[in-house]
Amino acid sequence: MRAKIAILVLILLVQTLSFANAGPTDDVSWSKDHNEMISTSPLILEDSIVVKTTDGLIAYSHSGVEQWKWNPSQTLLFEISPLYHHEPTNLIVTGWTDGQVTAHRSENGELAWAISTDSPMWGITGRIHESQGTIVIPVETGLLWINPNDGSITREFTFPDNVTGYRHGATSIVTDDNVWYVVGDEIGRIHRIDVNESTIIAQYNSSRIRDSIHVLDVQQGRYIVASIGIEANASGLHILDDSGPISSVSLTGSVGTISVQNSSVIVGDANGLHLFECEVNCSLMDHHEGLGSITGEIGIHEVNG
């Protein structure tokens, strides 16, 4: 895993959600070799590309020229919490395995603010997002809501029963008169967090929720999430709503983060890459085997032209 990893800036010619057109072309503009692990996707901004490694952050221009570098005070571990760009403040926010959350000015990497969180085992490994003017951080013990201007904590949620989360991320659902959040934990529970209370709306036994819960159908209130089974053949892709589980299909081994576009769902597992169409149930539309185990981030990118 610590062998050199090349960062490739690729020209993608994807116009539709199609496996036949979803791969990179051979048009490599430039590449950079790193001796550190790169375990999350680069962040592509208007005038730079920011990469997260075990040694910190490094930014390149679109032509491959290094712009700035930021190194933490200590060597970190397997860093998989994605980079998040907060557009109103132009800050790059990310979490680290030591429990730190750092916010950097995108033009020079300067540290704008940082906070420390509880890190019993693996620190911050999930996806950060913005909701209602705050940044929602998936810390190991639950969730934090952060003021993006100064890093102050405005709200907290702790998983009950001293349970932790790994690679989890909250999803916010906003209606005319309410906002709530859904998030999974390491014993397969799905939590709904309202303004004044939280409830467990589903539990997938002998499983871990290691991804964000995705909104599948806003009008019908349906979500979709992948679980990783404690046993190799117990993983799955699940549709649920606020009343509980609706349907499931089986996956194998470790599962990557899923990508959802309308009713199309792409997911990787130990058997390769799969495309499902999901409404109330999921139907397999296409799959590619022989790719090895796919456990990382999957993204859908639309390019005009």
Residue labelled with tokens 């036949």: 20
In DSSP terms, 248 is beta-bridged to: 238
Assigned token pair, 73:
């005070």
Half-sphere exposure of 266 (CA within 13 A, CB side): 16
Per the CB < 8 A criterion, the answer to whether 235 and 250 are in contact is: yes
pLDDT of residue 302: 65
Domain parsing of the chain, residue ranges: 35-125+141-147
pTM here is 0.85
Q: How far apart are CA 115 and CA 298, in angstroms?
A: 29
**Tokens encoding 101:** 């959350």
- What per-residue confidence (pLDDT) applies to 11? 28
Could you name the CATH architecture of 35-125+141-147? Beta Barrel (2.40)
List, run by run, the mean pLDDT of 10-residue segments along the chain (305 residues): 34 30 53 80 93 92 94 78 96 95 97 95 94 96 98 98 95 89 98 95 95 93 95 89 96 92 94 95 92 78 60
pLDDT of residue 277: 97
Please tell me the predicted confidence (pLDDT) of residue 1.
34
